[in-house]
Amino acid sequence: MSRNTPTSVTTTVLLPALALAGALLTACSPQASSPAAAASSPAAATAAAHPDFSGYWNLDMKVPVDPELMSKVAPGTVLLTDTGPAEFPRGEYGGLKLKPAALEKARKWDPKEQLSIHNVCRAPSIIYAMQGPFPIEIFQGERFIIMKLEYYDMVRIIFMDGRKADANYPHSMEGFSTGHWEGSTLVVNTDHLEAATITNNGLDHTQDARVIERFKLSADGRSLLATQEFEDPAVLDNRGVRFIAWTRQPGQHVYPYDCDPSFAGNYK
């Protein structure tokens, strides 16, 4: 079979990600043990108490902002309205207050830099990627939750076992994420992010940016609702938050992104 067939691409790109998720969940989740053992496990009782976010979720712009999630956002945080396909024009940052140096850098931003062969397949960080109009797929275990983003084939691992990043943990576009449950809401804290765009128009966060996300199901269980707060005192005088919602679509899976850098040739 040709390496260029869709089946081959799926085999080489998607299956390793799914295998990773499966291995992590199988090896580490009490849910994977026998039903009898699970029934007697305190962890199983905890798992049963948590909502199940597993599945394929497609961005849904029709879901209204959730007041309960927004009530948890820190005071003074500005709600950005660019979730999904919308983008702020050059020079507009949705209410974020930029430090003078960040503003000057944004003014000098050359958008064609994004389209060099070096950068065109470079993923943004989760601060920009999570709100994009691409689906996500969640594999939920007790000690790990895996989020596979279709956008740039990004894979997030959310550690639910209380671990800390070791001293040499590298910065990346996914960062280092830890999660815990507050009732039926999953709270995820992320740091160790690589510097990357916030609004795709010249405003970048530094590697010291921190993110807090809260995920919960809608009352009917069909939608996954989230807020994503971020702060980066090196570039911002205030904090930003995006509200993001996805609708579950059973039976579907994220596709490989498999970015082709030759696209940069269109912008020489």
Partner 1 sequence: MKKQLLTTILVATALAGAGTAIAHHSFAVFFNTDAKLVKITGVVEDFHFSNPHGTITLKVPQGHKEITWRAETNSPSLLRRRGWTPEVLHIGDTVTLEGWPARDGSRYMRLRSASDANGKPIGQPIA
Binding site for partner 1 (CB under 8 A): 61, 81-82, 84-92, 111, 114-115, 119-124, 132-134, 150, 152, 200-201, 255-260, 262-263, 266-267
Which amino acid, one-letter code, is at 101? A
Q: Given the complex with partner 1, which of 64 and 85 has the nearer CB atom?
A: 85
Q: How far apart are CA 160 and CA 145, in angstroms?
A: 7
What are the two backbone dihedrals, phi and then psi, of residue 97, each rounded to the nearest 5 degrees? -100, 110
Could you tell me where the DSSP H helices lie in 81-221? 100-107, 126-129
Q: Given the complex with partner 1, which of 2 and 34 has the nearer CB atom?
A: 2
Q: Given the complex with partner 1, which of 60 and 66 has the nearer CB atom?
A: 60
Could you tell me where the DSSP H helices lie in the chain? 6-9, 15-28, 35-40, 42-49, 67-70, 100-107, 126-129
Q: Given the complex with partner 1, which of 212 and 245 has the nearer CB atom?
A: 245
Which amino acid, one-letter code, is at 154? M
Nearest distance, CB of residue 50 and partner 1, angstroms = 30
Tokens at 192, concatenated: 């160790």
Nearest distance, CB of residue 132 and partner 1, angstroms = 7
Nearest distance, CB of residue 81 and partner 1, angstroms = 7
- DSSP strand pairing (144-149 vs 196-197): unpaired
Nearest to 203, CA basis, from 76, 90, 83: 90
Q: Given the complex with partner 1, which of 220 and 260 has the nearer CB atom?
A: 260
3-state secondary structure of 261: helix
Nearest distance, CB of residue 177 and partner 1, angstroms = 21
Nearest distance, CB of residue 266 and partner 1, angstroms = 6
Measure CA 76 to chain center: 23
Q: Given the complex with partner 1, which of 70 and 115 has the nearer CB atom?
A: 115
In contact, 210 and 191? CB cutoff 8 Å: yes
Q: Given the complex with partner 1, which of 91 and 233 has the nearer CB atom?
A: 91
Question: H helices then E strands: how many in the chain?
Answer: 7, 12
Nearest distance, CB of residue 259 and partner 1, angstroms = 5
Q: How far apart are CA 258 and CA 7, in angstroms?
A: 13
Nearest distance, CB of residue 58 and partner 1, angstroms = 9
